[in-house]
């Protein structure tokens, strides 16, 4: 459920400024990367930002990870690691996605990322990208298009995207015929054709259309 006072026409960071004006100091952004691919894990990032320091220059590098070029995401990741109060990345595998579905896997990955944050979050506010809340006793809000509206969610989306892309490049070394280094598991024409030709491999999501039709040809 969205927060009524958070309007979608705000620019990035306005949400953090509203929360800070209301007495909040720490905000945690949660976002995932990899809900749509036919292969590989879904990643989640969690980033804690100090709202007493919203005037710091490094925040200007943050935006929805999908809007940033790879080099900009990599540079932003360095800034996040150097400047965030705390951060964490977690993931759920393709097999877990097949077992519990992609929505539940995404939510659980975000819950896992949040659980790995080492600082005291008792008085923090959690901002979750999308329209679903996670299982948590902390004050939280779900924000549609949050990665374009919140510094903390944007930072989380960058960590998740960079981490997942790196893993998929690694999988390319094992399964080069699928081209994971280029499409990162998303259902491109090349990827779909490779599944038809070779069958799915061990990191494909066998409940997803485009892979499940060929599950009987699974390669391990």
Look up the CATH number of the domain holding residue 113: 3.30.420.10
Asked whether residue 9 is domain-assigned, the answer is: no
Does an H or E element contain 89, and which? strand 86-92
Q: Domain end: 124, 149, 165, which one?
A: 165
Q: Indicate whether 139 and 33 sit together in one domain.
A: yes
Tell which residue, 134, 137, 120, 55, has the closest CA to residue 85: 120
Q: Domain range for residue 182? A: 173-215
C-alpha triplet 117, 120, 124: angle, nearest 5°: 90
Q: How many structural domains comprise the chain? A: 2
pLDDT tens by residue, the chain, 220 residues: 344 445 666 789 999 999 999 999 999 999 999 999 999 999 999 999 999 999 999 999 998 888 999 999 999 999 999 999 999 999 999 999 999 999 999 999 999 999 999 899 999 999 999 999 999 999 999 999 999 999 999 999 999 999 999 999 999 999 999 999 999 999 999 999 999 999 999 999 999 999 999 999 999 8
Asked whether residue 7 is domain-assigned, the answer is: no
Asked whether residue 157 is domain-assigned, the answer is: yes
Q: Indicate whether 126 and 202 sit together in one domain.
A: no
Q: Indicate whether 103 and 133 sit together in one domain.
A: yes
C-alpha triplet 121, 126, 128: angle, nearest 5°: 150
- How far is Cα 195 from Cα 217, in angstroms, rounded to an integer? 10
Q: Specify the pTM.
A: 0.94
Q: Indicate whether 206 and 159 sit together in one domain.
A: no
């Amino acid at each position: 459920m969205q927060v009524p006072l958070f309007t979608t026409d705000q620019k990035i960071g306005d949400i953090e400024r509203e929360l800070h004006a209301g007495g909040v100091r720490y905000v945690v952004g949660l976002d995932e990367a990899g809900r749509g691919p036919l292969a590989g894990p879904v990643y989640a990032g969690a980033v804690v930002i100090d709202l007493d320091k919203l005037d710091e220059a490094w925040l200007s590098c943050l935006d929805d990870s999908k809007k940033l070029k790879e080099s900009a995401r990599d540079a932003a990741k360095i800034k996040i690691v150097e400047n965030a109060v705390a951060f964490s990345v977690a993931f759920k595998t393709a097999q877990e996605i097949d077992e519990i579905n992609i929505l539940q896997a995404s939510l659980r990955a975000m819950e896992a990322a949040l659980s790995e944050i080492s600082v005291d979050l008792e008085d923090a506010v959690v901002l979750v990208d999308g329209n679903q809340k996670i299982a948590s006793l902390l004050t939280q809000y779900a924000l549609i298009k949050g990665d374009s509206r919140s510094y903390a969610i944007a930072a989380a989306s960058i960590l998740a995207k960079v981490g997942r892309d790196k893993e998929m490049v690694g999988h390319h070394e094992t399964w080069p015929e699928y081209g994971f280094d280029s499409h990162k598991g998303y259902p491109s024409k090349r990827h779909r054709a490779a599944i038809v030709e070779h069958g799915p491999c061990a990191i494909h999501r066998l409940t997803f259309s485009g892979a499940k039709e060929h599950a009987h040809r699974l390669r391990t």
